[in-house]
């Protein structure tokens, strides 16, 4: 069996259950993911996503910067400041033109509770809509 250079304890990135995992690394690459037994959440178990779904980490197709659409339907790199300003300007324009309920927010189980809380504050407190939902709501 391969001996890891390093073991990183973390939380599975896939859903709100929050299973605890050990990432086993060799030469800087994750080669195995084990469920941790020392917690009340997953007690060593992982579903197929949490156990095997880590190929995306090394994909050359991962986005490294925000993208904006050009006039021909293509994309070009922009900075985070440019992206956030663009989103804020467009939110404000749409809200002014069509009203606050023309905008909706969908949050993700991949976000932390704090990030989800901030998203509803943005929706209700800044945009002025209750159109806020979450992918894990049944």
Enumerate binding residues for ligand SF4 (CB under 6 A): 12, 14-15, 17-19, 42, 46-47, 49-50
Which tokens is 65 given?
């910067």
Rounded to a whole number of angstroms, the minimum distance from the CB of residue 14 to ligand SF4 is 3
Which residue is it, tokens 């190929």? 55
Rounded to a whole number of angstroms, the minimum distance from the CB of residue 3 to ligand SF4 is 24
Of 69, 55, 43, 44, residue with least CA distance to 14: 55
Closest residue to ligand SF4: CB criterion: 50
Rounded to a whole number of angstroms, the minimum distance from the CB of residue 23 to ligand SF4 is 13
Rounded to a whole number of angstroms, the minimum distance from the CB of residue 43 to ligand SF4 is 11
| Of 15 and 94, CB closest to ligand SF4 | 15
Which residue is it, tokens 């969908």? 106
Task: Please give the Cα distance from 86 to 70 (Å, whole number).
Answer: 13
Task: Please give the Cα distance from 124 to 36 (Å, whole number).
Answer: 38
| Of 12 and 127, CB closest to ligand SF4 | 12
């Amino acid at each position: 069996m391969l001996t890891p250079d390093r073991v990183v304890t973390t939380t599975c990135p896939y859903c709100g259950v929050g299973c605890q995992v050990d990432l086993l690394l060799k030469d800087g690459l994750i080669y195995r993911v084990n469920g941790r037994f020392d917690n009340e959440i997953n007690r060593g178990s992982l579903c197929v996503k949490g156990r095997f779904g880590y190929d995306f980490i090394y994909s050359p197709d991962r986005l490294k910067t925000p993208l904006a659409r050009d006039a021909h339907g293509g994309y070009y790199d922009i900075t985070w400041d440019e992206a956030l300003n663009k989103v804020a300007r467009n939110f404000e324009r749409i809200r002014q033109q069509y009203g606050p309920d023309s905008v909706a927010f969908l949050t993700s189980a991949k976000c932390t509770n704090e990030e989800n809380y901030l998203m509803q504050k943005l929706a209700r407190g800044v945009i002025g809509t209750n159109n806020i939902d979450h992918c894990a709501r049944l």
